[in-house]
Amino acid sequence: MIRTAEQYVESLRDGRVVYQDGKRITDVVAQWPRSVQRAASEFYVATLPQHRALFTMMEDGEEVSFSFKVPTTPEDLQRRRQILLTLNQLGAGGSRLTGIDGLNGVAFGAAKVDAAMGTHYAENMAKYRAWCKKNDPSICAAVSDPKGNRELHAEDPRQAHKDFYVRIVDRKKDGIVISGCKLHISDAIIATELMVLPSRNHNETGKDYAVACAVPCNAKGVTFLATGGSAGGGHPMIIFEEVFVPWERVFLAGEWQFSREVATSFARYHRLTAATYKTSSLDALAGLAMLMAKYNGLTRATRIQDMLGWFAMYATVTEALGKAAALSGTVDPDTGQARPNAVYTNCAKYWFASQWHEAMKYLQDITGGIAATMPSMKDWENPETRPYIEKYLQGDARYPTEERIKAINRVIQEGSTFSGVLSIHAEGSLATQKMVLYQQADWARFEAAAKYSMGYKVDHPDFKNRLGIGQSPWTLPESLIHPKTKK
Ligand SMILES: Cc1cc2nc3c(=O)[nH]c(=O)nc-3n(C[C@H](O)[C@H](O)[C@H](O)COP(=O)(O)OP(=O)(O)OC[C@H]3O[C@@H](n4cnc5c(N)ncnc54)[C@H](O)[C@@H]3O)c2cc1C
């Protein structure tokens, strides 16, 4: 089924335990109506005639959300991108942004564990997917653990305690009991379900940390601590205190050898999601740079044009890498599951994240010092002080002062620590993408290219039929090199 926006909103009043800024929040809808409205709009949009064909599909005579489909082709991956782009354009969504990647990442891992260990996690996952199609939940991926000392494994006795990574603390006949904490879980407070999965590899001695499962947001023992001062609950800490999870919602429970597989499989999907939502925000960033240049009367300056050209490249390369990651995704022969191209998806995330501070340098350079010293918008609203701002903070006379100061405020927001840290760390810190690139890049091809360029005969299929260096398909005849002069 497709839930209505109203059904989604009502479902949030389910007794979930939430705190923010020192207080218990008893009604998340009343506390954060704008975030809830944004998330609820995803359900509303899915039912609109102009979007229905994109957002939903028919299965066994029932209309269900396309996002819950197992992606089986690169086109499915691209369609999920299209859904995210549409949501961005409409100012909707959020509470399912990470969870679908969690679902697909864990599903892939579950099938691999089953194949190697004879477990039945893929069956659990298939049933859970069917449940999702029937109940249309919003889902968040709860991956990042607090980690404690990063140099040490979870179970290392030198860690201050055992709970820096979510772990299984008990195994019962009908399920497992988990404890621990996940950090920074975007929009989790306004989700229905948490897809819990490991954030890294674990050793045999730390097998209890190899756990993936689905937990309802209102499960007994789950507590959310919202991001301090955030207007929408932000990216909360989630504490799991002896939370019972029935076996049918468990997708990994102790198979430590697959902990990394599950984590990286999620990341492969999630970095594509990141490159997709960034596409919209980087379009706006490039536009903001151009507008600031216009307001400041700078568009004819070649050094400013140089920076603007860079912005166009920044946005366009991110978009292109995201599209390439989806459309050159591969279908795993064992599971039939389509996954983004690992190299492109990691390049996409690394590219936009590693260049973010460069972008801020250019944006702040174009804007000028006012981005650090702006009077408050309250002074703009105050009739006594507004005329000063109106007069002295105008730039090029063709544009109203209000447009310029709004753009300056946007530059201030973009340059915030939050935006910088979001770019660098959300979807994994920069080192994690380079690690995957090192592991997944086609080194055999790169090496063959190098050897070929040095004149070696190379056996690699992309090079073995090539002509030798210096040879060309067409031979310039002697008669054209040294034409006989006509008498
Ligand atoms: C706004 C925002 C939203 C987020 N949303 C979500 C979400 O929805 N779901 C979710 O699960 N997570 C989410 N995250 C978490 C994000 O994935 C992590 O912040 C990221 O993976 C980095 O982990 P960390 O914060 O623990 O930093 P760390 O991993 O501690 O990174 C700090 C530095 O230490 C380095 N480092 C870490 N360990 C080692 C090591 N063993 N050896 C050498 N160097 C090391 C890193 O490369 C980095 O340079 C979000 C983060 C942000 C900022």
Is 184 a pocket residue for ligand 1 (Cβ < 6 Å)? yes
157/303 same-domain check: no
Is there a domain that residue 455 lies in? Answer: no
**Residue numbers of the domain that contains 139:** 5-260
The model's pTM? 0.93
pLDDT digits (tens, 9 = 90+) for 47-69: 999 999 999 999 999 999 999 99
229/356 same-domain check: no
Is there a domain that residue 454 lies in? Answer: no
Is there a domain that residue 457 lies in? Answer: no
Determine the distance separating the centroid of ligand 1 and the alpha carbon of 277, expressed in angstroms.
19
Is there a domain that residue 464 lies in? Answer: no
Is 98 a pocket residue for ligand 1 (Cβ < 6 Å)? yes
226/274 same-domain check: no
Is 58 a pocket residue for ligand 1 (Cβ < 6 Å)? no
CA–CA separation, 319 and 348 (whole Å) = 8
135/81 same-domain check: yes
Q: What is the pLDDT of residue 95?
A: 87
16/111 same-domain check: yes
Is 196 a pocket residue for ligand 1 (Cβ < 6 Å)? no
Given 402, 419, 440, the domain boundary residue is 440
269/252 same-domain check: no
382/285 same-domain check: yes
Is there a domain that residue 446 lies in? Answer: no
Is there a domain that residue 271 lies in? Answer: yes
Nearest alpha carbon, ligand 1 atom 29? 429
Determine the distance separating the centroid of ligand 1 and the alpha carbon of 274, expressed in angstroms.
15
**CATH classification of the domain holding 149:** 2.40.110.10
Q: What is the pLDDT of residue 486?
A: 62
Given 243, 260, 277, the domain boundary residue is 260
**CATH classification of the domain holding 325:** 1.20.140.10
Nearest alpha carbon, ligand 1 atom 50? 426
Is there a domain that residue 479 lies in? Answer: no
Nearest alpha carbon, ligand 1 atom 45? 150
Ranges of residues in the chain with a pLDDT under 50 are: none
Nearest alpha carbon, ligand 1 atom 48? 429
297/436 same-domain check: yes
Is there a domain that residue 306 lies in? Answer: yes
199/290 same-domain check: no
237/275 same-domain check: no
Given 260, 290, 323, the domain boundary residue is 260
Is 95 a pocket residue for ligand 1 (Cβ < 6 Å)? no
Is 77 a pocket residue for ligand 1 (Cβ < 6 Å)? no
280/253 same-domain check: no
What's the structural domain count of the chain? 2
Is 188 a pocket residue for ligand 1 (Cβ < 6 Å)? no
Is 422 a pocket residue for ligand 1 (Cβ < 6 Å)? yes
197/343 same-domain check: no
Q: What is the pLDDT of residue 233?
A: 87
